[in-house]
Chains A and B, each alone.
Chain A
Amino acid sequence: MDDIPKSAANYPPGHPTQADISAEIADIAKNKPTSSDPNWGAHRTLVDYPPYRSSILRHPSANLELVDPETIELASPAFGDRDVHWTEFDLTQQVNGEPQGERIIVTGKLMDADGRPVAGQLLEIWQANAGGRYRQKKERHPAPLDPNFNGVGRVLTGADGEYKFVTIKPGAYPWPNHVNAWRPAHIHFSVFGSQFTQRIVTQMYFPGDQLMPLDPIFQSITSAKGQKSLIADYDHDVTVPNWALGYRWDIVLNGSNRTWRASEDGPEEDE
């Protein structure tokens, strides 16, 4: 056991295993829950999701109050060229040299639920490096920092709602939720729409990642369509010869939690 870093063995007694967490995930999925709160749409992430232990004390117990959005909420901050430098889309060119890892392109469109492009809005991303390490003081994962990778990018969406980032594929990342817990590779996205009611922060995942079924954060979305909404497609047309693999991921905003109803989604809600 000498070759295992100390931090990996430092679980408290009785800490849940992956088998425990997976059983909880399966149990919740079997009941096909939506939220008990009618104001969360059927597609929403469950905020009360005990397999993700940190959610237990950090979600509201009362139902959301349904309100008409007011004037300020129907608008959103006017981020502009002043706020985002055009080079911030490229996470591989922010330091002196090139980061280690597999260079990738992540591109897609920001749209509303009717498929209309949402132009001129701010996307902010952050991610671990190729070794699964985040550049932050409190981070303890004993993977190397990459002096050439900060893991931060920003863009404003273009006229057709399109965006593009150049980055490196993030590594899987261990975390303390349970014994031997690993987050699937993911890129954090913070997104503004044309209305403040459309504000969303989420995570983009990569197709075929075997850690997704084991991950209580990803599994907090119980509908198949909801899960699919977070997984990028590998797109060979985006891939650039001799340079980078390409992924496509569109982001669809919701005007509100309520305008989307499962019944409008047709009969194939989940499967």
Chain B
Amino acid sequence: MSTAKANLYPTADQTVGPYYAIGMAYPLSEEIVPAGSVGSIVLSGYLYDGDGAPVPDGVVEIWQTDADGNVPRESGGLVRKPETFSGFGRSGSDDEGRWGFTTLLPAPTEPGKPAFFAVTVFARGLLSRLHTRIYVPSPATDADPFLSGLSPERRATLIATEVVGGLRHDIHLQGEKETVFLAFN
């Protein structure tokens, strides 16, 4: 670490609790682009606990590039504006654990790298947010040093599956199919 003057203690995490929707839900939070708009895809999946049971009170957030690989600098993550792209969305999971977004396919920020959605996961019972990624399936995932350093089973938990109209991706908080969660250098 650099020779910073202050070395402050970081604020600790706590669970979002059962009533996150009071503060975190907002209209069109799942529509980063309007549903059905040109070029839109649906990214969706289910959130499961260590028994494989649906987590009905979780939150999935995604943050992504636009379709050209640019980092969005437009506001509108909370109050949507159809003609601009904020790159941020939030979806609560429903009684079956399902979450989902209408968005654009992200693109690589650097040539040759695989494109992915940056993801944070929250839930009642989950004491700290978890970071993960959802990669868009492409040959570039095979060449990625991080992904190729994982076992095939673990790697598979980070790469979405192409389905009609978009991508499908389940998140397992625990268990045999446990999703790979991230810490950052």
Chain A residues in the interface with B (C-beta under 8 A) = 39-41, 43-47, 49, 52, 54-62, 64-73, 75-84, 111, 113-115, 122, 124-126, 134-136, 138-139, 150-154, 188, 190-191, 196-197, 199-203, 217-218, 220-221, 225-230, 251-260, 264-265
Contact = CB atoms under 8 A, between A and B. Distances in A.
Interface residues of B, number: 76
Interface of B is mostly: loop
A115 B72 CA distance: 27
Given A80-B75, A201-B13, A44 B128 contact: yes
Contact of B77 (A52, A71, A83, A200): A83
Contact of B184 (A58, A111, A256): A256
A114 B8 contact: yes
Given A57-B49, A72-B64, A221-B12, A201 B122 contact: yes
B11 A202 contact: yes
A77 B178 contact: no
Contacts of A80: 75-76
Contacts of B14: 45, 188, 201-203, 217-218, 220-221, 230
A221 B127 CA distance: 9
A139 B12 CA distance: 26
Given A77-B88, A220-B127, A253-B10, 19 more contacts: A49-B127, A58-B124, A58-B174, A60-B130, A61-B50, A64-B181, A71-B71, A113-B10, A114-B2, A125-B23, A126-B20, A126-B23, A190-B24, A199-B129, A203-B17, A217-B127, A220-B14, A225-B9, A228-B9
A251 B14 CA distance: 13
B22 A255 contact: no
B12 A115 contact: no
Between B8, B79, B88, the greatest number of chain A beta carbons within 10 A of the residue's beta carbon is seen for: B8
Contacts of B184: 66-69, 73, 197, 255-258
Contacts of A260: 10
11 contacts: A45-B127, A54-B124, A59-B173, A62-B180, A65-B154, A77-B72, A78-B77, A134-B19, A152-B22, A200-B129, A258-B184
Interface string B69-93: 0011111111101000011100000
A194 B146 CA distance: 24
Given A44-B128, A197-B131, A199-B129, A77 B63 contact: yes
B16 interface: yes
Contacts of A220: 14, 127
Nearest to A61: B174
Interface in B10-56: 10-24, 49-51, 53, 55
A99 B81 CA distance: 33
Given A55-B127, A72-B65, A256-B184, A229 B72 contact: no
B185 A58 contact: no
A83 B75 contact: yes
Contacts of A44: 12-13, 128
Contact of A152 (B11, B23, B125): B23
Given A57-B174, A230-B11, A196 B63 contact: yes
A165 B28 CA distance: 25
Nearest to A226: B12
A206 to B, nearest CB: 14
Contacts of A154: 78
Contact of A226 (B9, B116, B173): B9
